[in-house]
Structure formats: structure tokens, C-alpha cells
Amino acid sequence: MIGFLIQRVLQALMVIVAMSVLVFLGVYAIGNPIDVMIDPASDQALREALIHRYGLDRPLIEQYFVFMNNMLHGDFGESFIYRLPVIGLIWSRFPATLELALTAMMIATCLGIPLGLWAGYKPDSWSAKAIMTFSVLGFSVPTFWVGLLLIMTFAVELGWLPSGGRGPVSNVFGLKLSIGSLEGWSYIILPAFNLALFKLGLLIRLTRAGTIEVMSSDYVRFARAQGLSEGKVVGLHVLKNISIPIVTVFGLELGSTLAFAVVTETVFNWPGMGKLIIDSITVLDRPVMVAYLILVVFLFVLINLVVDLVYGQLDPRIRVKAAS
């Protein structure tokens, strides 16, 4: 297991270094932020002073190594627009996105896996067909449209839930989260369900497909022949053997939910990282853009590393294969 862990960590470090180069080059190529920061009528002296101040007159390779050196020391620079340290600016928005993403994945997992198991266990029943129809809607309906429909129904027409914003926050393990109170939950439930809808449909279909395949396998027949109840057959044999693709999708979708919740955050006016990056792209706030994308890369790599380690626990054959 130690060799497997070392191999995966080295691969993760190589991915982070390679992606840092691509992110830096990509952001560097989209334009000069000085053109957005100053008035077009400003004189050339002011323009050159700002270019020199932010180090934009240095060679590209030198800018990259300065950026990497600062990043390794925890310094992502200062926002061109907000005039605040970038890491503090992103960190101030991170708890909102984190609790929204985790709540959405909790909804998708707690509903998607049981519904998918039932749809695969009784594939010809009317309930299974209804579940699959719902899962198709999760894929097909645009997120922004569902969000607006939820606001119109539960906030405007019924008046049960707030239409947007974030509820009162409290310190939970050092993070300012709104899920520590009932009022906070009333604010998060609509955007979380909206964000979970696509993931819910994906987990339902994935779990159903795996269940149908495993139910016809020999070890399930043997388990039934031994007199095990259907609950134990599904819980001990079926669920365990379909867990690897479910863990894969869970990890990837958690990363994408953390990184790309911008549509839901915009519709529900949720003050998370998604709205921050859109505003930064609009004004070419390069330090915020680079730091955000590096953070996204790190999150994806970290989540995939954890998923690989979970693989090794679920299926020892993966550890043996990696070691060989």
C-alpha cells in the first residue's frame, strides 16, 4: 500500500506542475490587464509605471518562475481590482461554495444510489420506469431554467423559501458556514437541489446499469442459493461490486461541483467562488484567475488521489497491479 501511495503522489505532483504551466500560459495569452485597469486616455508614463509595478515587463518565463516561487510560499499576489491578497479573497468565498457543493453531493448520493439500486433490482416495474424518466430530465433540463422554476414555485408563488442569497453564518470547524442553523438551511436547499439534479440523474443511471449487470452474475446466484435474504444480497454483494464506478463518478462530480457551480451561484445570488471568477475574467484580474485555476487543479488532483486510495481499499487487485 505504501508503494501504491508513493506512486500516486508522484503522479499527482507531475500533473500539478504541468497544469500550472498550461494555466499560466493560457491566462497570459488572453490579454493585457492594464488595458482594463486604467483609462484609455491615460498617458504612456502611467501605463508603463503600472506594467513595471506588476512585473508585466519581464520575460514570460521569468514571470512564471516568480509566480511559482511565490505560490510555494503561499503568496498568490494581489488582486488588480480588489487590491486585496488573492488567497484571502478566494478563501473568503470558498466556504460558501464548499457547503453548497457538499450539500448538493449529499442530496445526489442519498437519493441517487437507492433509486438506482431499486431501478436495477426491479427494471420492469412502473416505479423503475418513473425513476429513469426522472433521471433523463436531470440530464436534459438546463440548470438555469430549473433554478428559475424553483425560485418561481417555492419562493414567489408559495413563499416557503428565500429566492436567493446566503443565510446567517456561524463558525463550524473554523469555517463560516450557513448550515449550522435552520434559517441557513432554508437558503441553501434550493440552490443545492438545483446543483444536485444533474449529479442525481447520473448516479441513478450508473447505479442501475451496474445493478442489472451484477444481479445476473454467478456470485449473486450462489448467495441466493445459500439462503441469504435479498437485502443482504443487494447490500453485501451487489452494492460492494458496483462501488468502484460510483466512487469514480462521485469524486469527479465533487470536483466539478466545487469548481463550476457558477450558473447556480449566479441564479441564486450565492456569494461563492464561481461568481468571483466570472467577475475576474470580465475585468482580466489575472492573479485571481491564475490562483483560482491552480486551486481547481489542486482540488481535482487531490480528489482523484483520494479516489485512487479508496480503489485500493475496495479492490486489492488494483494495489497489486500498481505495485507490479
Q: What percent of the chain has pLDDT over 70?
A: 89
In sign, the C-alpha dihedral spanning 72, 75, 79, 82 is positive
What cell was used for 64? 512564471
Residue 40 pLDDT exceeds 70:
no
- Domains in the chain, CATH or no CATH each: 31-65 (no CATH), 90-287 (1.10.3720.10)
What span, in angstroms and rounded, lies between the C-alpha atoms of 294 and 323?
Answer: 30
Q: Looking at residues 162-190, what average pLDDT do you find?
A: 81
Phi, psi of 279 (to 5 degrees): -65, -40
Q: Looking at residues 169-185, what average pLDDT do you find?
A: 79
Residue 21 pLDDT exceeds 70:
yes
- Angle separating helix axes 60-72 and 2-28, nearest 10 degrees: 140
- Of 72-76, 92-96, 110-114, 119-123, least confident by mean pLDDT is 72-76
The pLDDT, as a whole number, for residue 41 is: 65
Query: CA geometry: angle at 285 spanning 281 and 287, to 5°?
Result: 120
What span, in angstroms and rounded, lies between the C-alpha atoms of 53 and 231?
Answer: 67
What span, in angstroms and rounded, lies between the C-alpha atoms of 57 and 77?
Answer: 16
- Of 246-255, 280-289, 307-316, least confident by mean pLDDT is 307-316
CA 196 to chain centre: 11
For 13, 16, 74, 88, 282, the CA distances from 7, given in Å and listed in that order, are 10, 15, 26, 33, 40
Of 131-140, 148-157, 261-270, 289-298, give the range with the top mean pLDDT: 148-157
The pLDDT, as a whole number, for residue 1 is: 60
More confident residue, 153 or 166: 153
- Under a CB-based contact definition with an 8 Å cutoff, are residues 265 and 258 in contact? no
pLDDT band at 304 (very low <50, low <70, confident <90, very high): confident
Residue 31 pLDDT exceeds 70:
no
Residue 313 pLDDT exceeds 70:
no
Residue among 285, 239, 297, 292 nearest 262 (CA): 292
What span, in angstroms and rounded, lies between the C-alpha atoms of 298 and 252?
Answer: 13
- Under a CB-based contact definition with an 8 Å cutoff, are residues 187 and 167 in contact? yes
Residue among 156, 140, 138 nearest 148 (CA): 156
Q: What percent of the chain has pLDDT over 90?
A: 1
The pLDDT, as a whole number, for residue 264 is: 86
CA 82 to chain centre: 25
Q: Looking at residues 207-212, what average pLDDT do you find?
A: 85
Where are the alpha helices (H) located in 233-324, listed in sequence order? 239-241, 243-259, 262-267, 273-282, 286-314, 316-323
pTM of the prediction? 0.76
